[in-house]
Structure 1
Amino acid sequence: MIEEKRVGAEPVPHNLSELLTELQRTSLRRIENFGWQIKFIRRPRFQPPVVVVENTTGMNIGILEEDGGVNLRPAISLRD
């Protein structure tokens, strides 16, 4: 059985601007024009946050990298 780690943590926190770099914020505004949005943010201890974005259909995901790039082939495992 997988232990739930996100107890009490929202998928997209209210302090979003504090977690994103300036380049990520700029890129997010740009990709939102194409229907992409933040799905959730992983916040591993002692590491930068991992920003996961998805398209409008929810069929494609990507990682919004610290430099503002979008990695459409992320090496990330998602739960169902």
Structure 2
Amino acid sequence: MYGRERRQSGELDTAALRAGLTPAQLNALGTLEHFGWTLRFVRRPMFRDPIPVLFHRDGKRFVVLEADGTLNEAPDIKIRD
């Protein structure tokens, strides 16, 4: 029981991450994924819009996808190692 993977599939995780994103964010996300970016996580602060964080395939660069679909390449969030 303790050694089992809790997640059922990557598709469920992807759908859960995309839930609540604006149409502009979803559109931009599709384009960015085509160029090697991956939606890794979405911060969901209380009483605020979700903050999707995407990483480049090299794993070193990350961006925040704003509600209007634009990229914030210098977000004020800290990523733990």
* TM-score normalised to structure 2 length: 0.77
- Looking at secondary structure, tell me which structure has more helix per residue: 2
Aligned to 1:52: 53
Structure with greater Cα Rg: 2
- Which one-letter code corresponds to 1:75 in the other structure? D
Per-residue CA deviation, residues 4-63 of structure 1 (Å, 9 max, x unaligned), is: xxxxxxxx5633443110000000011111100101101111111110001001110000
Aligned to 2:41: 40
The 8 Å contact of residues 52 and 64 in structure 2, kept in 1 or not, is answered as yes
In structure 2, C-alpha distance between the alignment counterparts of 1:66 and 1:51, rounded to whole Å: 9
The 8 Å contact of residues 17 and 42 in structure 2, kept in 1 or not, is answered as no
CA RMSD of aligned residues (A): 1.5
The 8 Å contact of residues 43 and 51 in structure 2, kept in 1 or not, is answered as yes
Q: After TM superposition, list the pairs within 5 Å mapping 1:1-80 onto structure 2.
A: 14-80=15-81
Percent of pairs identical after alignment?
A: 38
Runs of 4+ deviating beyond 4 Å? none
The runs of 5 or more residues in structure 1 that have no matched partner are: 1-11
